[in-house]
Amino acid sequence: MARFLVTGGAGYVGSHVVLALVERGDEVVVLDDLRQGHRAAVPAGTELVVADLANRARLAEVFAGWKFDGVLHFAALSLVGESMRDPLRYLSENLNNTINVADAAVKAGCLRFVLSSTAALFGFPERVPIDETATLLPASAYGESKLMAERALDWAGRVHGLRSAALRYFNAAGADPGGRLGEDHDPETHLIPLAINAALGLGPELTVFGTDYPTPDGTCIRDYVHVMDLADAHLRVMDKLCAGGPSVRYNVGNGSGYSVRQVIDTVERVTGLKVPHRIGPRRPGDPAVLVASNARLRAETGWAPRYPELDDIVRTAHAWRAAHPQGYGDRGAAAQAA
Ligand code: UFG
């Protein structure tokens, strides 16, 4: 049994990772400011520290209070569009918070660190599938902030011996197949939950952002990867770090792409409901095709997706939302937490 600190562990990807760790018998301390996270997403019996990562004194206290075998850092601003309206906030908050967590970890002698990173590092890629040797050229301040965070960890590695794994997610989607956790963002900006909400009558009709891309049906193609498969990747890379492995960088996706139209068709087939939608203009900053090469992750960690089918991704996402029409039902809780 090991003990891990998970920042952002009450958020979407973080909470699924916490569940996977707890289920295999690890001890977890979640640190989350609950601005986006949900108290109800933290398993009963798991310690939740409600704190802001800007608060270095509080971070030092947390590291003094527990001895951690490693840190998994999810907490971040993560909206591409918002990052282009307020780039300096994204660069400042995401970089500084990563530095604060890494610095507290190094000072406490905790030298294993997993970072939640993103395919946004690659901007408009020259070729797909995208492997780890592709040029790092973010097209958004969000992507840039994660690249800077990765680079900060590189320096902490060179100078302080911090060993880090950065996982560059493609499109995280789906929900715990056991129905305990799901995706509940405010605002929601992601395609699959928006399509499901539209189908269930819980949200407005979906707008398809552009049908004039150079793809077979004219809509953008993305690599949707099940959040439990993402969770599995985190456990594997942390285990490698705990076994003495070096710093690594991995792209995490299914390795196959689906268009926006294919996603809509799948939601309709899986739910038996129509997805009300209309065609709109392109969304600025959207590349036509983003698909991962997961070859390095597979070869070096033995990872393979257990839920590679879009049907399963949509089915689990739909099941949770249908059972939780109000999500975790804590809208406004963030204001109280603050
Ligand atoms: N889309 C629509 N209508 C919507 C929302 C999305 O047509 O209302 C389309 C987008 O244009 C895109 C696809 O659906 O082609 C997926 O869009 P998402 O917003 O769900 O996801 P993104 O691919 O834009 O973003 C994801 C992650 C980001 C990450 C990025 C990397 O959510 O964190 O991939 O490029 F930065």
- Name the DSSP letter for residue 121: G
How far apart are the C-alpha atoms of 127 and 136, rounded to whole Å?
13
How far apart are the C-alpha atoms of 292 and 30, rounded to whole Å?
29
Residue pair 201/285 in contact (Cβ under 8 Å)? The answer is no
For residue 338, the model assigns a pLDDT of: 44
Q: Could you tell me the strand order of the sheet in which 258-259 lies?
A: 258-259, 221-222, 289-290
Residue whose CA lies nearest to ligand 1 atom number 16 = 191
What are phi and psi for residue 141, nearest 5 degrees? -65, -30
The beta strands (E) that lie in 78-188 are given as 112-118, 163-169, 171-173
Q: What domains sit in the chain, N to C, each tagged with a CATH number? A: 3-323 (3.40.50.720)
- Name the DSSP letter for residue 329: S
260 lines ligand 1 (CB under 6 A): yes
48 forms beta bridges with 30
Closest ligand 1 atom to residue 221 Cα is: 15
Closest ligand 1 atom to residue 219 Cα is: 15
Longest distance between any two alpha carbons in the chain, whole Å: 56
Q: Which long-range contacts (CB under 8 A, 24 or more apart) does 209-216 make?
A: 209/260, 209/280, 209/281, 209/282, 209/283, 209/286, 210/280, 210/281, 210/282, 210/283, 210/286, 211/279, 212/282, 213/282, 213/288, 214/288, 215/259, 215/288, 215/289, 216/259
> pLDDT tens track of the chain, all 338 residues?
899 999 999 999 999 999 999 999 999 999 999 999 999 999 999 999 999 999 999 999 999 999 999 999 999 999 999 999 999 999 999 999 999 999 999 999 999 999 999 999 999 999 999 999 999 999 999 999 999 999 999 999 999 999 999 999 999 999 999 999 999 999 999 999 999 999 999 999 999 999 999 999 999 999 999 999 999 999 999 999 999 999 999 999 999 999 999 999 999 999 999 999 999 999 988 999 999 999 999 999 999 999 999 999 999 999 999 999 999 999 755 545 54
Residue 109 zone, left/alpha/beta (φ > 0; ψ -120 to 50; rest): left
171 lines ligand 1 (CB under 6 A): yes
72 lines ligand 1 (CB under 6 A): no
For residue 335, the model assigns a pLDDT of: 47
Closest ligand 1 atom to residue 283 Cα is: 11
- Name the DSSP letter for residue 8: T
Residue whose CA lies nearest to ligand 1 atom number 30 = 120
- Find the Cα–Cα–Cα–Cα dihedral 47, 51, 53, 58, rounded to 10°: -90
For residue 285, the model assigns a pLDDT of: 87
Report CA(79)–ligand 1 centroid distance (Å).
10
The beta strands (E) that lie in the chain are given as 3-7, 27-32, 47-50, 70-73, 112-118, 163-169, 171-173, 206-209, 221-222, 224-226, 248-252, 258-259, 277-280, 289-290
Q: Length of the chain in residues, anyone?
A: 338
Closest ligand 1 atom to residue 290 Cα is: 35
- Name the DSSP letter for residue 140: S
Report CA(63)–ligand 1 centroid distance (Å).
36
Alpha helices in 161-209 (DSSP H): 191-200
In 3D, which of 214, 230, 224 has the Cα closest to residue 289?
A: 214
142 is catalytic: yes
Q: Which two tokens stand for residue 213?
A: 């891309």
How far apart are the C-alpha atoms of 291 and 266, rounded to whole Å?
19
Residue identified by tokens 């590189």 is 154
Query: Within 13 Å and on the Cβ side, how many CA atoms surround 23?
Result: 13
Out of 90, 142, 213, 224, which one is annotated catalytic?
142
Residue whose CA lies nearest to ligand 1 atom number 33 = 78
Residue whose CA lies nearest to ligand 1 atom number 32 = 171
What are phi and psi for residue 22, nearest 5 degrees? -65, -40
Report CA(190)–ligand 1 centroid distance (Å).
6
For residue 312, the model assigns a pLDDT of: 98
